[in-house]
Amino acid sequence: MRGAVAAGVAAIAADSVFIEPNHPRIVRQEIALRRWPKPLDGFTIALLSDFHYDSHFSAHPLHAAIAMVNGLNPDLIVLTGDFVSMRLLGGHEQESARAAEPCAALLRQMHARCGLWAVLGNHDVFTDPDIVTEALRAHGIGVLVNESAPIESKGAHFWLGGVNDVLSGDSDLQATLHQRPAGEPVVLMAHEPDFADYVARYDVDLQLSGHSHGGQVRLPFVRPLYLPELARKYVRGLHRIGGLTLYTNTGLGTVGLPVRLNCPPEITFLTVRPATV
């Protein structure tokens, strides 16, 4: 009996280290928005987050994700932060931030008709946001820092907004929405999902986030063992907060230990439609 238990524990441990973290899954989600333009019915968005790039561990699910995303042929790709990782023992921030270069080089292999767009996460900001931003932009990835850009397709458009990382204290939602004419639809990238309680006070239709890793390690019947600040309420999946729709992606990479259990890496494939009521 003890041998069987030990073998089972060893199998679970091996799966959580060698198998589950390296095999992303595609989560398909249809979202209906009241103000979504009718010509954009069926517009698709691939949402990825929390890459925490390193060449030994988190590079593997990112390599796998490239072909998967391109096979989906999304209209738009959004990347909601944490391209790099802070060192656990501190220091060497710029060295950590330079991991954004190989991460961006891989991300740029994904293609979408309306481009790749990003916001920074807390790990990006607390290493060196300038290095991370420059690496992304050098590979043709748009980075929105408290600003919005119109996304045009089929003779219609919506506004894609991006707030700077909330935990850094540099987010400014009012500035982000300033460029958008009143009443036009907004999809907001915000790294931390629990920011949605604040966003719901504003005229925003859809918020896309990451940060939580879905808990990364999830034991049956209990809450995740660890959740970061501002990711403890809307941990994963679809949520509605007043008139706001929120989707929290569980991330591609890992932080801390390179382990995932009952929480595989995620590529979210969103299909957006006008609400019928």
Single-letter amino acid code for the residue at 157: H
Supply the pLDDT for residue 3.
Answer: 44
Instruction: For helices 100-107 and 59-72, give the axis angle rounded to 10 degrees.
Output: 20
Phi, psi (5° rounding) for residue 238? -90, 135
Residue 82 phi, psi (nearest 5):
60, 65
3-state helix, strand, coil in the chain (%, to 5): 30, 25, 45
**What's the rounded Cα separation, in Å, for the pair 78 and 114?**
10
Q: What pTM was computed for the model? A: 0.92
Task: With CA atoms as reference, report the closest residue to 76 among 276, 275, 274, 268.
Answer: 268
Using the structure block, give the residue that is written with the tokens 């958008």.
180
Coil, strand, or helix at residue 124?
helix
Q: What tens-digit pLDDT sequence spans the chain (277 residues)?
A: 444 333 333 233 333 444 666 899 999 999 999 999 999 999 999 999 999 999 999 999 999 999 999 999 999 999 999 999 998 766 678 999 999 999 999 999 999 999 999 999 999 999 999 999 999 999 999 999 999 999 999 999 999 999 999 999 999 999 999 989 999 999 999 999 999 999 999 999 999 999 999 999 999 888 898 999 999 999 999 999 999 999 999 999 999 889 999 999 999 999 999 998 7
What is the C-alpha to C-alpha distance for residues 261 and 19, in angstroms, rounded to an integer?
10
Place of tokens 């970061």: 228
pLDDT at 7 (0 to 100): 30
Which residue, chain included where needed, has tokens 């790294």? 191
Alpha carbons within 13 angstroms on the beta-carbon side of residue 37 total 17
Predicted pLDDT at 12: 35
pLDDT of residue 15: 39
- CB-based contact 272:29 (threshold 8 Å): no
Domains, the chain: 2-274 (3.60.21.10)
Distance CA 194, CA 232 (A): 7
Task: Give CA–CA dist 24/249, Å, rounded.
Answer: 12
Which residue type occupies 70?
Answer: N
Burial 195-214 (b: 16+ CB within 10 A, else e): bbeebbeeebbbbbbbbbbb
Spatial distance between the Cα atoms of 134 and 127, rounded to a whole number of angstroms: 13
Per-residue confidence (pLDDT) for residue 14, from 0 to 100: 34
On whether the CB atoms of residues 193 and 233 are closer than 8 A, the answer is: yes
Strand partners, 163: none
User: Beta strand pairing status for 186-189 and 156-162?
Assistant: parallel
Tokens encoding 201: 């006070």
Using CA atoms, how far residue 150 sits from 121, 158, 184, 187, in Å, is 22, 6, 10, 10
CB 183 within 8 A of CB 171: no
